[in-house]
Amino acid sequence: MLDNILDLNGPWFYEPDTKRTVLLRGVNLSGGAKLPNGIPTHAKDGYWVDYDRNVNFIGRPMPLEDADEHLGRIKQWGFNFLRFVIIWEAIEHEGPGIYDTDYIEYIIQLLYKCKEYDLRVFIDPHQDCWSRQCGGSGAPGWTLSLVGLNPSTFQVTGAAIVQNVYENPDTFPAMIWSTNYGKLATSTMFTLFFGGKLFAPNCIVDDLNIQDYLQQHFINAVMQVVHRIHKEDSHLENVLVTGYDTINEPNEGYIELADITKFRDKVDDLKKGWTPTAYQGFLLGSGIATQVEEWDMTWSGPKKQKTVLVDPQGVQAWLSEEDRNQADKVFGWTRSSKWQPGCIWAAHGVWDRSQQTPEKLNYFAVHPKTGEPIEFNHLWMDHIQKFGEAIRSVHSEAILFVQPTVLSYPPEFPSTMKRLAYVPHWYDGLTLVQKTWKNYNVDVIGLKRGKYGNGPLKYARALRVGEKSIRKCFQEQLGTLQHEGRDRVGEYPCLLGEIGIPYDMNRVSPSSSSSYFSTNFIQTVLSYLCLGAFRTSDDEEMINNPASPQNRAMDACLNALEGNLLNYTLWTYVPDNSRKWGDRWCGEDLSLWQRGHDGTNARDIPAIHRPHPRRTAGVPKSIESILATEKQAATFKYSCIPTLDTKHPTEIYVPETYFPAALTSVTVSTGTWEVGEQTDNYWIIHWRPVWSEEACTITLTGVTFNQSAR
């Protein structure tokens, strides 16, 4: 029974009642929460109808009647924490200040279900690329109409690439959705959300600058959930709901852009397909034909392929005056007379529409009054402080899970901000974009931090070849993120909020080899650069084999997490994941679960089934997991420094799959152990080491893959 509050003890999560350290092993529930009922991103029907005011998110990510099945499975897999996804659009889709109380009641009932399965949560107000209409998820459709944007013309004007209106949704390019962060619609919305008072002072609605209007409505929408949880018993607020994530993967939009006619110099920016500069995006958004670069991915990152003419033929991404007036009437907005229809950035003199010339190249990089350089992190920090203050005005003990822009160096946090957890995200970008587990990879964090210098050779220096080298590289990258958080955010826990793998991987033939000069390496590079990978059927037995690319990729990620003793929530668990459409969102397929032909998990990879120290009577020191193969038995080794402060044991979750209780060997360097709990799917070891200043170790030896209870 979950009845202990989760607290903080320096860099660890901690149960003050039992005086034990808690390592959180969790999953995001769920990518499926991003989408309203009946409108997956591959469907055009129902998309952008009546400002998308009448969408329905009740039952997303799962109907309540299915919750026992899915939450029970998550618990059986050994997860003890959920990043619980909610969506601004789901709460406030009908219009500003109109809240969907039925959806909020659904959330409350689903939280009670989580309580039944002892799954603590933190609430994630999720977004990607601002909104569904911008090719992502998050904000209500009316926010775009408020700004004067017209989602029905985003595709032709290059303002966003959206699978719902893509010519053939089946061929929607992998991971291209994230390129929307650099396109007109998303960049405009984030610039206004974080910096509207600086960069769009004429955008006043209902006597508020657009920045204040958007931020207030976002915070107020989340607060509807906070208040509703607060009305329930204190167990739900203080024990089950541990805290709140800040806005998911915040983006700077155009802020800090040094030159609107050039790209940012960012290593991790995904450039794929049409890739306009900010200024080219302004032109296209105003219906003006423009030469635009087309990019694709190579082993060393994005590369320009060619230049193409994109001609919207006069169609604009902005609402006409008549259409904007109609939106104002529908939603009851009163605008300042200074806010003219059309491109906001032309209206603020950033470029001249009549002359088709850029006017203020560094407009978004300097303060408009002082000329001093602008730092996005200051604007982001202002927002999360307001967000945190609002949350704690109701849920006073809430932990604030803070995440800056993706893979960025975090800002220094003021000492006045307390009860924090640092929650960066990290993915193996090469595998994610190419959907292939290769025998080489790149140290992206090292590249971003300037570890390899400048010039084209930096990519060669960052290259890692062979699986052993790749696994070490992953562990070093996550270690860097962890240490940066401790240095800049403070002595608080670090939790990887998102990390995961694509299950719809291509396969390269022949089978991979770790040799740099192997035939396979050359073939892999060739297929990656120009030929395309050789795809085979998504066979369940192939995926669930220890040698499958999915298993190796996931194990490399989990090994990196365990090697740094990190808390984490994997992305993602999608109850209605589809064999054809994956997570049903923008071509992604990262769900741990997919219903197989016989009702079992079609992607039951061995890497997921590993022991985990849930509670430690002391301080964790190291985790080492070795997966079962056809010849090698699974092993698990955990070391900790015990404490005299508690009489409670260290608890270790052990899956029956590769560590059946009847066949597993358990050895301890000190103390005693016993089986504290046992089910058909897992058992819990209670270990009571004798106090020592040195680390104590428990070792488990299970069975081989062929001997396992699969």
What digits encode the pLDDT tens for the residues 40-85?
999 999 999 999 999 999 999 999 999 999 999 999 999 999 999 9
Residue 17 has pLDDT above 70, yes or no: yes
Would you state the structure tokens that stand for residue 221, as one six-digit string?
């929408």
Residue 521 has pLDDT above 50, yes or no: no
- The torsion region of residue 246 among left (phi > 0), alpha (psi -120 to 50) and beta comes to beta
Average pLDDT over residues 197-204: 99
* Average pLDDT score, the chain: 94
Residues sharing a CB contact under 8 Å with residue 196, sequence separation 6 or more, in sequence order: 203, 209, 210, 211, 212, 214
Query: pLDDT tens for residues 677-703?
Result: 999 999 999 999 998 889 999 999 999
More confident residue, 136 or 599: 136
Residue 610 has pLDDT above 50, yes or no: yes
pLDDT tier at 555, thresholds 50, 70, 90: very high
pLDDT tier at 524, thresholds 50, 70, 90: very low
SS3 578: strand
Query: pLDDT tens for residues 640-668?
Result: 999 988 999 999 999 999 999 999 999 99
Cα gap 501→571, rounded to integer Å:
8
Catalytic residue among 252, 498, 588, 656: 498
- What pLDDT, on the 0 to 100 scale, is given for residue 526? 31
Average pLDDT over residues 95-123: 98
Cα gap 451→461, rounded to integer Å:
9
Average pLDDT over residues 6-23: 97
Fold classified for 7-255+375-608: TIM Barrel (3.20.20)
Residue 508 has pLDDT above 80, yes or no: no
Cα gap 58→101, rounded to integer Å:
10
Residue 511 has pLDDT above 70, yes or no: no
Residue 360 has pLDDT above 90, yes or no: yes
Cα gap 620→338, rounded to integer Å:
60
Average pLDDT over residues 271-275: 93
Average pLDDT over residues 112-139: 98
User: What are the DSSP calls for 338-395, one per residue?
Assistant: T--SS-HHHHTTSEETTTTEE--TTTTTB-TTT-PBP-HHHHHHHHHHHHHHHHHTTS
Measured in degrees and rounded to the nearest 5, phi and psi for residue 3 equal -140, 15
In a 13 Å sphere around the CA of 265, the CA atoms on its Cβ side amount to 7
pLDDT tier at 137, thresholds 50, 70, 90: very high
Residue 268 has pLDDT above 80, yes or no: no
- What pLDDT, on the 0 to 100 scale, is given for residue 266? 72
Write the DSSP symbol of residue 582.
B
- What pLDDT, on the 0 to 100 scale, is given for residue 507? 54
Residue 534 has pLDDT above 70, yes or no: no
Percent of the chain with pLDDT over 90: 88
Residue 536 has pLDDT above 80, yes or no: no
- What pLDDT, on the 0 to 100 scale, is given for residue 518? 35
Query: Exposed, middle or buried by CB within 10 Å (0-12, 13-18, 19+), for 231?
Result: exposed
CATH fold match for the domains 7-255+375-608 and 614-701 = no
SS3 415: coil
Contact of 274 with 158, CB cutoff 8 Å: yes
Would you state the structure tokens that stand for residue 701, as one six-digit string?
């030896």
Domain ranges of the chain: 7-255+375-608, 614-701
Query: pLDDT tens for residues 308-354?
Result: 999 999 999 999 999 999 999 999 999 999 999 999 999 999 999 99
Residue 234 has pLDDT above 80, yes or no: yes
Cα gap 542→325, rounded to integer Å:
57
C-alpha angle 589-590-594 in degrees, rounded to nearest 5: 75
- What pLDDT, on the 0 to 100 scale, is given for residue 539? 61
**The pTM of the whole model exceeds 0.75:** yes
Alpha helices in 133-183 (DSSP H): 142-147, 154-157
- What pLDDT, on the 0 to 100 scale, is given for residue 269? 75
Average pLDDT over residues 187-208: 99
Residue 267 has pLDDT above 70, yes or no: no
Cα gap 505→507, rounded to integer Å:
6
- Closest to 100 measured CA to CA, from 68, 132, 60: 60
Q: How far from chain centre, in Å, is Cα 32?
A: 13
Cα gap 51→185, rounded to integer Å:
16
Q: What HEC string does 428-457 produce?
A: CHHHHHHCCCCCEEECHHHHHCCCCCCCCH
Residue 519 has pLDDT above 50, yes or no: no
Catalytic residue among 92, 249, 484, 651: 249
- What pLDDT, on the 0 to 100 scale, is given for residue 598? 87
Residue 622 has pLDDT above 50, yes or no: yes
Contact of 60 with 90, CB cutoff 8 Å: yes
Percent of the chain with pLDDT over 70: 95
498 in active site: yes
CATH architecture of 614-701: Sandwich (2.60)
Write the DSSP symbol of residue 591.
-
359 in active site: no
pLDDT tier at 616, thresholds 50, 70, 90: very high
Residue 163 has pLDDT above 80, yes or no: yes
Q: Are strands 301-310 and 440-442 parallel, antiparallel or unpaired?
A: unpaired
Cα gap 400→406, rounded to integer Å:
17
- What pLDDT, on the 0 to 100 scale, is given for residue 280? 99
SS3 159: coil
Residue 510 has pLDDT above 80, yes or no: no
Cα gap 187→300, rounded to integer Å:
26
